[in-house]
């Protein structure tokens, strides 16, 4: 793995949505970070924090309101026509809901090979061989190719979704909460499959989730988002052992830890106060209404993400 090299640079990315006549929902608001070649970057936060919008804007599925996404030297939001189509081969997505994301009228073979057809990549015979190969790669088999999605369990459907994402041999995959809709017993199987595929195929992942324990298991580094902002970003081990941002501390205090010594000393931090709206947010720190450390400055100045320790970035006036 060629880690530590920025493969994807997200620079001051903004994605706003107009809500009604005057209101603006700032789903992603000035977010800057890198994704390194061969790593899994976890992106966590409560629902509505902008993590899914961020992932989709990185892929160009949403146009950016402002800012840039540089993918291996290419500015994603400046691509047009043929170049844009070529980019879709290199960067793919696995969706959250394996029930809604597969067309119930298409066979598994047609679902998995739809992208190959768009890119006119194979003869019909080669296409089928490739489908068999992909099904095998994700733990299914060639008998499954002619069946329809309703004949499969949730975990198997997500395997089909993964095969579809792999069909064009991408280098980067946004895994958009790929396990949230699955039974707990199946979640680990899908995460382990993603880890195996990453090793075999040299993939880079952006793994979006709200389940912090699973993110810890799969990620090299983790970014924490709160209401459209990135509030903390560092190595996975470090984040779980020494979180700095008050919001990260609260999130982590709620997850069970297997080590009894750490568990005994850990105090659950309850988040109190109102969650502000991402529509027309006020200046200052967006976490201010729920933060027990808030000071005057926090109501006036928006903290920027800065490196406070080597490879540990945090956006908070305490640091
Ligand atoms: Fe709390 Fe202020 Fe830090 Fe925001 S900037 S997290 S309000 S201490």
- HEC string of 220-242 equals CEEEEEECCEEEEEEEHHHHHHC
Ligand 1 atom 5 nearest Cα: 316
In angstroms, the CA 302 to CA 291 distance is: 14
In short, whether 178's Cβ falls inside 6 Å of ligand 1 is no
Q: Look at residue 144 and tell me whether its pLDDT is greater than 80.
A: yes
Entry pTM: 0.91
Q: Is the CB of 293 under 6 A from ligand 1?
A: yes
How many CB atoms within 10 Å of residue 24? 16
pLDDT of residue 20: 82
Question: What is the structure's pLDDT at 255?
Answer: 75
> Which of 52-61, 117-126, 149-158 is predicted with the least confidence, judged by mean pLDDT?
117-126
231 lines ligand 1 (CB under 6 A): no
User: Which of 161-170, 206-215, 259-268 is the most confident on average?
Assistant: 161-170
User: Residue 250: CB within 6 Å of ligand 1?
Assistant: no
Nearest to 272 by CA among 252, 283, 296, 288: 288
Residue 4 falls in which region: left (phi positive, over 0), alpha (psi -120 to 50) or beta: left
- 62-100 residue pLDDT tens: 999 999 999 999 999 999 989 999 999 999 999 988 778
User: Does 26 have pLDDT greater than 60?
Assistant: yes
pLDDT value, residue 105: 93
pLDDT given for residue 266 in this prediction: 66
Residue 107 has φ and ψ, to the nearest 5°, of: -75, 160
Measured from the CB, is residue 294 less than 6 Å from ligand 1? yes
Q: What percent of the chain has pLDDT over 70?
A: 95
Q: Is the pLDDT of residue 2 over 60?
A: no
Q: Is the CB of 161 under 6 A from ligand 1?
A: no
Q: Does 281 have pLDDT greater than 90?
A: no
Q: Give the pLDDT mean for 267-277.
A: 73
- Residue 4 confidence (pLDDT): 64
Give the per-residue pLDDT at 64. Answer: 96
148 three-state secondary structure: coil
**How many angstroms does the Cα of residue 232 sit away from the middle of ligand 1?**
12
Q: Look at residue 254 in the predicted model and tell me its pLDDT.
A: 76
Please write down the long-range contacts of 12-16, taking CB distance under 8 Å and 24 or more positions apart.
12/66, 12/67, 12/68, 13/54, 13/57, 13/58, 13/64, 13/66, 13/67, 13/68, 13/69, 14/64, 14/65, 14/66, 14/67, 15/50, 15/53, 15/54, 15/57, 15/62, 15/64, 15/65, 16/65
Q: Please tell me the distance from the alpha carbon of residue 172 to that of residue 198, in angstroms, as a whole number.
A: 10
Q: What is the reported pLDDT for 180? A: 87
CA–chain centroid gap for 219, Å, is 11
Average pLDDT over residues 179-194: 90
- pLDDT value, residue 181: 84
Output the pLDDT for position 1.
46
Q: Which domains does the chain have, with CATH numbers?
A: 15-106+171-183+200-314 (3.40.50.300)
DSSP state of 124: H
pLDDT of residue 231: 97
Is residue 36 within 8 Å of 233, Cβ to Cβ? no
Neighbours of 195 (CB within 10 A): 14
Residue 304: the pLDDT is: 94
Mean pLDDT of 245-272: 77
From the list 174, 154, 160, 155, the residue with the least C-alpha distance to 76 is 174
C-alpha distances (whole Å) from 146 to each of 111, 117, 162 are: 10, 17, 17
Q: Are 18 and 219 in contact (CB under 8 A)?
A: no
Q: Which CA distances in Å does 165 have to 6, 35, 94, 174?
A: 22, 19, 6, 10
**Lowest-confidence region among 151-155, 254-258, 295-299:** 254-258
Tell the residue nearest (CA) to atom 4 of ligand 1: 285
Q: Which helix (H) or strand (E) holds 41?
A: strand 40-44
β-bridge mates for residue 307, sequence order:
313
């Amino acid at each position: 793995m060629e880690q530590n090299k920025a493969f994807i640079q997200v620079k001051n990315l903004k994605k706003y949505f107009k809500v009604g006549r005057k209101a603006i929902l700032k789903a992603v608001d000035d977010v800057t970070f890198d994704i390194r070649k061969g790593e899994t970057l976890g992106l966590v936060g409560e629902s509505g924090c902008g993590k899914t919008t961020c992932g989709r804007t990185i892929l160009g599925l949403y146009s950016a309101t402002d800012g840039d996404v540089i993918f291996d030297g290419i500015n994603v939001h400046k691509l047009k026509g043929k170049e844009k189509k070529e980019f879709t081969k290199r960067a793919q997505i696995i969706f959250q809901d394996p029930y809604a994301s597969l067309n119930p009228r298409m066979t598994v073979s047609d679902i998995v090979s739809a992208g190959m057809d768009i890119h006119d990549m194979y003869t019909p015979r080669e296409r089928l061989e490739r489908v068999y190969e992909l099904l095998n790669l994700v733990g299914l088999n060639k008998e499954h190719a002619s069946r329809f999605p309703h004949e499969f369990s949730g975990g198997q459907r997500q395997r089909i979704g993964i095969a579809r994402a792999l069909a064009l041999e991408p280098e980067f995959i946004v895994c958009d909460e790929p396990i949230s809709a699955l039974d707990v017993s199946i979640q680990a199987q899908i995460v382990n499959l993603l880890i195996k595929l990453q090793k075999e195929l040299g993939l880079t992942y952006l793994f979006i989730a709200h389940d912090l324990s699973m993110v810890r298991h799969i990620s090299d580094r983790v970014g924490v988002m709160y209401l459209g902002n990135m509030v903390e970003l560092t190595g996975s081990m470090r984040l779980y052992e020494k979180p700095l941002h008050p919001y990260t501390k609260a999130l982590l205090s709620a997850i069970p830890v297997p080590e009894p010594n750490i568990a005994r000393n850990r105090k659950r931090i309850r988040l109190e106060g109102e969650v502000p709206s991402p529509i027309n947010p006020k200046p200052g720190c967006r976490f201010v209404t729920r933060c027990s450390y808030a000071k005057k400055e926090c109501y006036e100045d928006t903290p920027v993400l800065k490196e406070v320790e080597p490879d540990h970035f945090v956006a908070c006036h305490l640091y």
